[in-house]
Amino acid sequence: MVRHIVWFKMASDRDENCNKAKELILSMKGKVPSALNVAAHIDLLHSERSFDIMLDVIVKDWKALELYQNDPYHCGTVKAFLGKVSSESASMDFEY
C-alpha cells in the first residue's frame, strides 16, 4: 500500500476554502477508482507552522499512485481548486 499525503496553506478565506476543499477531497470517494481510501483533515491549532488542510489518500501501489495523479476528476476538480486557493503545499508518499 502507498499513502499519499499533501498539506496546504490557504492564500485567503481560510475557513471557507478549507471547508470547500474538504468537501471536494472527500468527493473523490467512488469517483477516483485508484483511491482505496480518501480523508481530509482541517487544522485546529492555527500556529505559524501549521498547514490548514491535509489530503490523505491510500492507493494499492506506485502504479495506482500514478493513475491517481493523472485521474481526470482529481486533476480537473480537486487539484485545480486547491491550486487556486492555496499559497503553499508540502507532500509525502510512502509505503506501509
Q: How do the domains of the chain map onto residue ranges?
A: 2-85
User: How does pLDDT run across 30-42, given as a tens digit for each residue?
Assistant: 999 999 999 999 9
With bands split at pLDDT 50, 70 and 90, how would you rate the model's confidence at 5? very high
Query: Quick one: which of 47, 40, 43, 49 has its CA closest to 6?
Result: 40
Instruction: Give the architecture (CATH level 2) of 2-85.
Output: 2-Layer Sandwich (3.30)
Nearest by Cα to 78 from 31, 33, 34, 37 = 31
Q: What cell was used for 27?
A: 468527493
Cβ-Cβ contacts under 8 Å for 22 (sequence gap 6 or more): 40, 42, 53
In tens, the pLDDT along 25-73 reads 999 999 999 999 999 999 999 999 999 999 999 999 999 999 999 999 9
0.85 surpassed by pTM: yes
- According to DSSP, the residues that pair with 59 across neighbouring strands are 2, 35
Which residue type, as a one-letter code, is found at position 41?
A: H
